[in-house]
Chains A and B, each alone.
Chain A
Amino acid sequence: MNFKPLGDSGLLISFGEVIDEETNDRVHALAGAIEKAGFEWLVEVVPSYSSLAVIYDAKLIDFEGVKQAIERIEFSAERFEGRLVEIPVLYGGEHGPDLEFVAEYNGLTPEEVIEIHSRPIYRVYFLGFLPGFAYLGGMDERIATPRLEKPRLKVPAGSVGIAGEQTGIYPIESPGGWRLIGRTPLRLFNPSRKPPTLLRPGDRVKFVPIDEEEFKELYKAEWGHEND
């Protein structure tokens, strides 16, 4: 474990610059142990791939104090496994305008891209970037495709995209440069729900292809109105 200041109220703990499940298990195990310890100076913990930030109230404790408190914490990095969440996706068409491009770029048919994308069980390494955005690991490199030259100004919430060797879902409408291959009718971020995000760190994700009709039905159930 390597400790560094992240400004005057943050401490960064790093397990090295790697992306693998074992390291990420340790990140989440330590994050959980810190949250459980009940420190009054703790504001919050922000986990990522191989590092986590501990945000503290600098009025109550200094950097050295936080460091020593964390060094004393005992934690075992057990396999961190959340739930298996199935994400229905309508691939291609108006919701996946780049599916053809991803297929062509990789010398595949659109059906093969869908098959390759929806086969693995992905791991949610952590949430970041946007509320409810999951950093997923485990995409097959046969469908890896570079980002758009020029990002779209508006990508609808639920869009499923590919950027390099990553895949992900836009939780809310935002600008974005990922290649869009489909869209889920599920709401990934809903502030009035508890917890507000559909996915949580450690969850496993499986994409399930659906058709237009299922999409419409699920969309209405999830959002309370028709998709326009």
Chain B
Amino acid sequence: MIELLRVPSLLTVQDSGRKGYRKLGVPVSGYMDDYSARIANYLVGNPCDAPLLEFLLMGPTIKFNASAVFAVAGDVDVKLNGAPVDPWTSYWAKRGDVLEVGVLKSGLYGYIAFAGGIKCEKLLGSCSTYARANLGRPLSEGDKLTLGYAILTGKEGCRLPEELRPDYSAEEITVGVVLGPDLDHFTEEGVRMFLSEAYTITPESDRMGYRLDGRTIEHSEKGAGIVTGPLVPGTVQVPPNGKPIVMMRDAQTTGGYARIGVVSNAYLHRLAQLRPSFKVRFREMSVEDARNELFKKEKTLEAIRLFLEGRLRAYRIKAGEKSLIALAGKV
């Protein structure tokens, strides 16, 4: 069991999300950054969708009431009993140990995974927190969480090489987007604007959606309203004011604003980590290209999993100033 001594920000339990209930109006939810979250789980030997902790900007302080293997994913200072330890690395904590997770130096969401996962009641097939509908609730100080049964199988000392850690420091990124389905609700100039301008993440952004600011996107004579239709996370809606909103993991299941495009799932975790005041550009992609990007992301995550399991080796390659890493072969 672990106890939360300090909870400075939004701290929730998340897994890969809720499937099969969207037709009843229940959002998908799940981890905002599936890339970091999955690696956190791999570091402690869990399957990718084991429930873990997601924190916003600042991590919690946790006391272990039993020994457990843990790993923190994020660009953040971590201390175990006051002594610095590395993020992206699995450690064994003993009964009575205290884990302190600091403030993210880059990115917005960090993850703490425990071997065996967090034991929690599955509601509608998932442990993901969607507090608005009482599907879980944000955690607070004093809360105690039970860990899963695989505690003894988790191994410490798994470390993700620095070259393989995601870099969320850029203040401007470009994400791939599949245009449509409501392109006829925009003028050609409006679509051109969407694909050429940089849009700023505003502070009115949360797990439900990221509101963007920038040059106004012009609607056609059909206007901003559509007959209410389905949405998926990544959908970019443009309300009458012409400022786009990207729907995120807690997105409502249907909406009534014209959908100019959908950010590909290969990029959604990257967008999720973009801080308010940072900028995003949208690059048009075909469905086929978006799918290929998705395969690439899956392939990378799979290689990382095999490497952490000791089934692939890492080769360091010097490319000028930069050090790269390639995962290959069998040990």
Contacts and interface: CB of A to CB of B under 8 A. Distances in A.
B124 A127 contact: no
A132 B293 CA distance: 35
Given A133-B25, A172-B132, A191-B123, A128 B287 contact: no
Pick from A5, A7, A9, A10 the residue with the most CB of B within 10 Å: A7
Q: Which size class do A's interface residues fall under?
A: 35 or more
Interface in A1-49: 4-10, 12, 14, 17-19, 31, 43-49
Contact of A46 (B226, B230, B266): B230
A5 to B, nearest CB: 5
A200 B178 CA distance: 31
Contacts of B253: 46, 127-129
Interface stretch (A56-64, A70-78, A85-93, A145-153): A56-64
B227 A18 contact: yes
B229 A9 contact: no
Interface in A160-195: 171-172, 174, 189, 191-192, 195
Query: Which interface residue of B234, B287, B298 has the most chain A CB atoms within 10 A?
Result: B287
Interface string A186-215: 000101100111001100000000000000
B25 A44 contact: no
A114 interface: no
Contacts of B255: 129
B26 A8 contact: no
A52 interface: yes
B120 interface: no
B22 A9 contact: no
Q: Which of the listed residues A59, A127, A131 has the most CB atoms from chain B within 10 Å of its own CB? A: A131
A21 B36 CA distance: 45
A50 interface: yes
Given A12-B230, A49-B227, A174-B132, A62 B291 contact: yes
A132 B287 CA distance: 32
Contacts of B290: 7-8
A23 B215 CA distance: 37
Contact of B24 (A10, A49, A53, A197): A197
A51 interface: yes
A159 to B, nearest CB: 15
A175 B124 CA distance: 24
A51 B232 contact: no
A43 B19 contact: yes
Chain B residues touching A, range: 35 or more
A63 B232 CA distance: 16
Contacts of A191: 123-124, 133-135
Contacts of B26: 131, 196
Interface string B275-311: 0000000000001101101110010000000000000
Interface in B1-49: 19-27
Given A8-B287, A18-B227, A127 B262 contact: no
A46 B22 CA distance: 6
B174 interface: no
B146 interface: no
A174 B27 CA distance: 15
Contacts of B132: 130, 172, 174
A122 interface: no
Contact of A8 (B180, B229, B252, B266): B266
Contact of B264 (A8, A126, A133): A8
B21 A4 contact: no
Interface string B216-260: 000000000011111010110000000000000000111100010
B265 interface: yes
A59 B265 contact: no
21 contacts: A4-B180, A5-B287, A7-B265, A8-B265, A10-B232, A43-B19, A45-B23, A46-B23, A48-B228, A51-B227, A59-B295, A59-B298, A127-B253, A128-B254, A129-B255, A130-B25, A131-B21, A132-B24, A191-B124, A191-B134, A196-B21
Q: Which 5 A-B residue pairings sit nearest by Cβ, starting from the closest? A: A7-B262, A128-B254, A53-B230, A8-B290, A4-B181
